[in-house]
Chain A
Amino acid sequence: MSLVQDVLAVFLIVSGLLIMLVGSLGILRLPDFFTRSHAASKVDTTGIIFLLAGLAVHEGLTQAMGKLLIAIAFIMVANPVAIHALARAAWNHGERPWANGKSQRKETR
Chain B
Amino acid sequence: MDTFFVAATVALVAIVLLPFYRVMRGPTVFDRLLAIGAMGAKTIGLVCMFGFLYGRFYMFADIALAYAVLNFIAGIAVAKYFTRERSPES
Q: Do chains A and B touch in the complex (CB under 8 A)?
A: yes
Residues of chain A touching chain B, judged by Cβ–Cβ distance below 8 Å, are 6, 10, 13-14, 16-17, 20-21, 23-25, 27-28, 33, 36-37, 40, 44-45, 47-48, 51-52, 55, 58-59, 63-64, 67-68, 70-71, 74-75, 78-79, 81-83, 85-86, 88-95, 105, 107, 109
Given that A74-B65, A89-B83 are known contacts, is A10 also in contact with B4, CB under 8 Å in the complex?
Answer: yes
CB of B74, distance to nearest CB on chain A (Å): 8
Count residues of chain B with CB under 8 A from any CB of chain A.
47
Residues of chain B touching chain A, judged by Cβ–Cβ distance below 8 Å, are 1, 4, 8, 11-12, 15-16, 18-19, 21-22, 27-28, 30-31, 33-35, 37-38, 41-42, 44-45, 48-49, 52, 57-58, 61-62, 64-65, 68-69, 71-72, 75-76, 78-80, 82-83, 86-87, 90
Contact assessment for B90 and A71 in the assembled complex, using a CB-CB cutoff below 8 Å = no
**Which of these, B31, B52, B69, contacts A36 with CB under 8 Å?**
B31
Given that A27-B22, A37-B34 are known contacts, is A48 also in contact with B44, CB under 8 Å in the complex?
Answer: yes
CB of A69, distance to nearest CB on chain B (Å): 10
Q: Cα distance A16–B52 when bound, in Å?
A: 16
Please name all residues of chain B whose beta carbon is closer than 8 Å to the beta carbon of A13 when the two chains form the complex.
8
Please name all residues of chain B whose beta carbon is closer than 8 Å to the beta carbon of A91 when the two chains form the complex.
90
Contact assessment for B37 and A83 in the assembled complex, using a CB-CB cutoff below 8 Å = yes
Given that A24-B38, A74-B68 are known contacts, is A85 also in contact with B8, CB under 8 Å in the complex?
Answer: no
**Which of these, A24, A68, A86, contacts B30 with CB under 8 Å?**
A86
Contact assessment for A24 and B18 in the assembled complex, using a CB-CB cutoff below 8 Å = yes
29 pairs of residues in contact across A and B, judged by CB atoms under 8 Å: A16-B45, A20-B12, A20-B15, A20-B42, A23-B38, A23-B42, A28-B21, A28-B22, A36-B22, A36-B31, A44-B41, A48-B42, A64-B58, A78-B69, A82-B37, A82-B71, A82-B72, A82-B79, A85-B79, A86-B34, A86-B78, A90-B28, A91-B90, A92-B90, A93-B90, A94-B87, A94-B90, A95-B28, A107-B27
